[in-house]
Amino acid sequence: MTVGFVGLGQMGAPMAKHLVKQGLLVYDTRPEALAPLVEDGARATSGIAELAAGSDLVSIMVRDDAQVTEVAAEALPAMRPGAVLAIHSTIRARTAADLAARSGPVHVVDAPVSGGFMGAAGGTLAVMVGGSDEAFDACREPFGAWADLVLHMGPVGAGTRTKLARNLLHFTAFTAAAEAQRLAEASGVSLRKLARIVRHTDAVTGGAGSIMLRPTTAPLADDDPLRPILDHVRALGEKDLTFALELAADLDVDTPLARLALARFATGLGLPQEDQDG
């Protein structure tokens, strides 16, 4: 399979580098972005249409919906029937489905990635693929050159919906981290040492992802085998959140996320509403 890669920025360049030995066509509006990959053995193309015409898989890693749509408009008419257009950018949930509806004989997949620059450089990204079974089978191997977790999430659009849910957790956690730092700073705790503790223990426990154990957000049945585990998590969480809120009140630190977390902690774990007063 010949792969073409459009968009050689902070993520795209290291992703594409893993594909050079397999035969790679590249395009970017910046000549300086092409040079390192060409030196490694990739072939630069004069434009998107040339790249698309010579590729079985076209990977797009550009900035936003507008750029994705612009690249796709030029690539799709030039692509051969049965080829795959893969969108790795994080875009609106509907954009990939809209493109797929007018892609004709070309398969469109949305395949956003998670793992940042370090994952791209190390070939350890996670990629969430939305598309047909046929399209997924075609791109699974080349994606595996730069990702060590390649999951088929469902039809076109499912990859992006997965990425948006993942990033909701990611960036909301940043706000929670800021709230925790304000509490620590007000109580005289070193923020650098707090950060070391957080990074160390999250690497051990898996952080927030460690609680994502259930296939549904519906309330747990009384006989669910996860019930004792999550009852224990709830007891610890509600205790520690209560203590943190008491400390915040003593120090006059506003912690709105912590208040909301305590109010919704039990139901978020799937424990029935009536249990919150039990």
Phi, psi of 71 (to 5 degrees): -65, -45
* Residue 46: pLDDT over 60: yes
Domain boundaries, the chain: 3-162, 213-277
Residues in the chain: 278
| Complete DSSP assignment for the chain | --EEEE--STTHHHHHHTTGGG-EEEE-S-HHHHHHHHHHT-EE-SSHHHHHHT-SEEEE--SSHHHHHHHHHHHGGGSPTT-EEEE-S---TTHHHHHHHT-TTSEEEE--EESHHHHHHHT-EEEEEES-HHHHHHHHHHHTTTEEEEEEEESTTHHHHHHHHHHHHHHHHHHHHHHHHHHHHHTT--HHHHHHHHHHHHHHH-GGGGG---S--SPPPTT-TTHHHHHHHHHHHHHHHHHHHHHHHHHT---HHHHHHHHHHHHHTT--GGGGG-
The model's pLDDT over 235-274, given as tens digits with 9 standing for 90+, comes to 999 999 999 999 999 999 999 999 999 999 999 999 976 5
Cα diameter, the chain:
68
Are the beta carbons of 33 and 51 closer than 8 angstroms?
no
pLDDT band at 275 (very low <50, low <70, confident <90, very high): very low
How many whole angstroms separate alpha carbon 22 and alpha carbon 179? 47
Q: Which of 17, 21, 163, 239 is catalytic?
A: 163
How many whole angstroms separate alpha carbon 60 and alpha carbon 212? 30
What is the assigned CATH class of domain 3-162?
A: alpha beta
- Lookup result for tokens 């929670």: 176
* Residue 278: pLDDT over 50: no
pLDDT at 274: 54
How many whole angstroms separate alpha carbon 254 and alpha carbon 256? 6
CA distances from 90 to 27, 48, 253 (A): 19, 20, 35
Q: Of 277 and 34, which is predicted with more confidence?
A: 34
**pTM of the shown model:** 0.93
The model's pLDDT over 102-120, given as tens digits with 9 standing for 90+, comes to 999 999 999 999 999 999 9
The model's pLDDT over 86-106, given as tens digits with 9 standing for 90+, comes to 999 999 989 999 999 999 999
Are the beta carbons of 48 and 74 closer than 8 angstroms?
yes
Catalytic site includes residue 163 = yes
Are the beta carbons of 101 and 72 closer than 8 angstroms?
no
CATH architecture under which domain 213-277 falls: Orthogonal Bundle (1.10)
pLDDT band at 216 (very low <50, low <70, confident <90, very high): very high
